[in-house]
Amino acid sequence: MAESLGQYRLVRKLGTGGMAEVFLAAQRMGDALTRPVVIKAILPHLAEDERFVEMFLREARVAAMLSHPNIVHIHDVTRLDGRPCLVMEFLKGRDLWTVLMRLASLNEAVSPEAAAAAVAQAASGLDYAHRKRDRAGQPLDLVHRDISPHNLFLTREGHVRVLDFGIAKSAYQQTRTESGVIKGKLPYMAPEQARGKDVDGRADQFALGIVLWEMVTGQRLFARDDPVLTMQAMFHEKTPKPSSVRPCPEVLERIIMKALRKSPTDRFDSCESLAHALRAWLASVDAESEARLVRKLLAHAVPPQEDEAFYASDRPQEDDAEPIPTDELHLVGVDLTPSGMERAAEREPIFPPPELTASVETRAPRRPWALAVGAVLLVCLAFGITVIAARPTAPPAAATPVVVDVEPPAPAPPPAPTPVVVRFLDVPEGVVLEVDGGRLDGDSLRVLPSDDVHHVRALVGEREVWRYDGIFRRDTEVPLPPDLALPP
């Protein structure tokens, strides 16, 4: 590749997500001095969307203000073929989602101590962002709004970094998000955020509570197969205690349940208070240092040996490099998963059932990818033996090849998809629904099932009071929030 962008030289393309493509690059720092960085460029078709470009640049402006050991560092903003790009620090490690999936494949969960250490670090980084002020001393009122295991990155040094402030809400942004617009991953939203209400740092705290609950239990908390069921669980079901799934220290359980209170006023007053409570518990059980706990957790789930092939190529090369497989994308500290709640809602729960064992550091982890490679090799080996066994001992006489010009039959046309029906429930009088920019006649929508995201808005006049972004593959019902804020 070796394409130059001023002081940056692209080394290889790491992958493409729903909104951006990511490159490994080398930054020239001086004579014979370079450092690896990551460049995140929005996709070409999105670069034509002024609203999306503004969101992307807002991420850069907000993130550039933040300098904390537990928040990913943004070095610069540049352009690639006219597209805005973020230049970020290069991180060695994995995101928490990958760690949890690896542990699930081992039928394990995170130890209570390691879970508390990781979340305490993330809470400190978020509290710093919540309290951040601009150069004039005015509070930014920054809220991340998209905390999930995908946006928490564990480094080999034992640090936890918060990623992607792309949908963060701040008083700094020139155009504030309309009240009632839902953004984030639905299974990790606070109830007030899912209802489209104004949120503060306690919404991020609630998301951390979900992450902590899932780490110590090895199961999903609110995630269901359908986003409607997810919202019902979030709004109406009693939050189960972690100990109902697997053993959990009593004090830690009380901390988790306090962070998960439905009302923001019943939670900790700040993420720093949550971090303080977690660290006090760690001290009371004479736990190892946070960095050591995080290092051991990552090493157990993803052994460092898996990094060797990748990091051997973290210096710029003159020749083109092969793209890195998509399951390695999170090495660089960039979540390529689209932030929309529809992506989170459609994921199958991947954590193991309740009969889990605690994570044991001395156990040599099995690697699902290694088993898969082994299976492929066995199939290839068996095929090779079959070919060898069937090979005649003496080569037959050469035969004149017969060439038959046969036109292949035309493939049968695929069956026409059956439209799915989406019904919107509890639509108040005076509220008009708009789908993908067009007004909806009534409360039912007929669309063809696909992976396309449909954008539904509830309007009173020209004011947007609620928003739902979803993928519809089957008949479903979507209730509007019962306490929808309507103008008098």
Model confidence pLDDT, tens digit, residues 354-399: 333 333 333 333 334 333 333 333 333 333 323 333 334 444 444 4
In a domain, 370, yes or no: no
Q: Domain range for residue 252?
A: 93-316+326-352
In a domain, 375, yes or no: no
Do 340 and 453 meet the contact criterion of CB atoms below 8 Å apart?
yes
347 and 428 co-located in one domain: no
Do 202 and 189 meet the contact criterion of CB atoms below 8 Å apart?
no
Which residues does 456 contact at the CB level (< 8 Å), separation at least 6? Answer: 424, 433, 434, 435, 440, 445, 467, 468, 469, 470, 478
54 and 82 co-located in one domain: yes
Mapped onto helix, strand or coil, the DSSP state of residue 376 is: helix
A 10 A CB-CB count for 16 gives 15
Q: What pLDDT does 180 receive?
A: 38
pLDDT digits (tens, 9 = 90+) for 151-202: 999 999 999 999 887 555 554 443 334 333 455 678 899 999 888 888 999 9
Token readout for 41 is: 């460029």
pLDDT at 420 over 80: no
Token readout for 318 is: 């003159």
29 and 178 co-located in one domain: no
Q: Give residue 181's identity as a one-letter amino acid code.
A: V
pLDDT at 401 over 90: no
In a domain, 257, yes or no: yes
In a domain, 77, yes or no: yes
Q: What pLDDT does 462 receive?
A: 80
Token readout for 363 is: 């156990």
**What is the number of domains present in the chain?**
3
Least reliable range by pLDDT among 14-23, 84-93, 352-361: 352-361
Residues with a catalytic annotation lie at: 146
Q: What pLDDT does 318 receive?
A: 36
Domain end among 56, 89, 122: 89
Output the CA torsion sign for 392, 394, 397, 403: positive
Cα end-to-end distance, the chain, whole Å: 59
Q: Average pLDDT of the chain?
A: 75
163 strand-pairing partners: none
Q: Give residue 327's identity as a one-letter amino acid code.
A: D
Domain end among 89, 124, 146: 89
Domain end among 66, 89, 112: 89
Which residues does 365 contact at the CB level (< 8 Å), separation at least 6? Answer: 102, 106, 300, 301, 303
CATH number for the domain including 15?
3.30.200.20
Q: What pLDDT does 482 receive?
A: 66
Do 55 and 38 meet the contact criterion of CB atoms below 8 Å apart?
no
225 and 112 co-located in one domain: yes
Q: How far is it, in rounded angstroms, from Cα 258 to Cα 247?
A: 18
Q: What pLDDT does 417 receive?
A: 65
In a domain, 367, yes or no: no
476 strand-pairing partners: 422
Query: What angle do helix axes 271-284 and 112-131 make, rounded to 10 degrees?
Result: 150
Q: How far is it, in rounded angstroms, from Cα 117 to Cα 159?
A: 10
141 and 56 co-located in one domain: no
Maximum mean pLDDT: which of 83-87, 330-334, 400-404: 83-87
pLDDT digits (tens, 9 = 90+) for 248-291: 999 999 999 999 999 999 999 999 999 999 999 999 999 999 99
Q: Give residue 320's identity as a one-letter amino acid code.
A: D
CA 327 to chain centre: 13
121 and 19 co-located in one domain: no
In a domain, 487, yes or no: no
Higher per-residue confidence, 349 vs 197: 197
57 phi-psi bin (left φ>0, alpha ψ -120 to 50, beta other):
alpha
139 and 109 co-located in one domain: yes
Which residues does 342 contact at the CB level (< 8 Å), separation at least 6? Answer: 227, 453, 469, 470, 471
Q: Give residue 412's identity as a one-letter amino acid code.
A: A
119 and 268 co-located in one domain: yes
Mapped onto helix, strand or coil, the DSSP state of residue 91 is: coil
Mean pLDDT to the nearest integer, 288-316:
82
Maximum mean pLDDT: which of 238-242, 305-309, 338-342: 238-242
155 strand-pairing partners: 93
Q: What angle do CA 184, 446, 474 make, to 5 degrees?
A: 60
Q: How far is it, in rounded angstroms, from Cα 218 to Cα 478?
A: 29
Sheet containing 476-479: which strands, arranged edge to edge?
444-447, 420-425, 476-479
Mapped onto helix, strand or coil, the DSSP state of residue 162 is: strand
Q: How far is it, in rounded angstroms, from Cα 402 to Cα 396?
A: 16
98 and 241 co-located in one domain: yes
pLDDT at 480 over 50: yes
438 strand-pairing partners: 435
- Its pTM stands at 0.63
The DSSP output letter for 440 is -
In a domain, 468, yes or no: yes
CATH number for the domain including 296?
1.10.510.10
Token readout for 246 is: 């697997």
Closest CA to 20 of 99, 89, 84: 84
14 and 34 co-located in one domain: yes
Token readout for 347 is: 């994921």
150 and 271 co-located in one domain: yes
27 and 167 co-located in one domain: no
